[in-house]
Chain A
Amino acid sequence: MNPRLAKALINGLLLGGAAVALFPLLWMLAVSFMPSGTSNALPPPLWPAHPVLDNYRQLFGHAGMGRYLLNSLLISGAITLLSLVFNLLAGYAFAKLCFTGREQLFRMLLGLLVVPAQVAMLPLFLMFKYAGLVDTYVGVVLPGTASVLGIFLVRQYARGLPDELLEAARIDGAGELHIFVRIVLPLLRPVVATLAILTFLTAWNDFMWPLIELTGQGHYTLPLGLASMAREHTEGTEQMMAGSVLTVVPVLALFLAMQRHYLDGLLLGSVKG
Chain B
Amino acid sequence: MKASRVAWLFLAPALLVLAVFFLLPVLVALALSFTDYDLYALADLHNLRFVALGNYWVLLHRPQFWAALGHTFYFVGMGVPLSLAASLGAALLLHSPLARCKAFFRTALFAPVVTTAVATAVVWRYLFNTKYGWANHLLGMFGIHPVDWLGDPHWAMPTIILFAVWKNFGYNMIILLAGLQAVPAELYEAACIDGASAWRQFRHITLPMLGPTLLMVAILTVSGYFQLFAEPYVMTEGGPLESTTSVLYLMYEDGFQWWNLGVATAEAFVLFLVMFAVTAAMLRLSRKAVA
Contacts and interface: CB of A to CB of B under 8 A. Distances in A.
Interface residues of B, number: 87
A227 B233 contact: yes
B237 A231 contact: yes
B118 A115 contact: no
A222 B14 contact: no
Interface in A195-236: 201, 204-205, 207-208, 211-212, 222-223, 226-227, 230-231
A186 interface: no
Interface in A119-161: 119-127, 142-143, 145-146, 148, 151
A90 B13 contact: yes
Contacts of A25: 111-112, 115, 120, 123
Nearest to B231: A207
For chain A, the bracket of interface size reads 35 or more
B180 to A, nearest CB: 13
A87 B122 contact: no
B72 to A, nearest CB: 12
Contacts of B175: 266-267, 270
By DSSP majority rule, is chain A's interface helix, strand, loop, or mixed?
helix
Given A123-B265, A208-B229, A251-B116, A14 B111 contact: no
A27 B134 contact: yes
Given A22-B111, A28-B123, A116-B226, A122 B32 contact: yes
A8 B11 CA distance: 55
Nearest to B251: A118
A252 B115 contact: yes
B29 A119 contact: yes
B58 interface: no
4 smallest CB-CB distances across A and B, nearest first, come from A90-B14, A120-B25, A97-B7, A146-B17
6 contacts: A17-B90, A17-B93, A18-B104, A18-B108, A22-B111, A123-B32
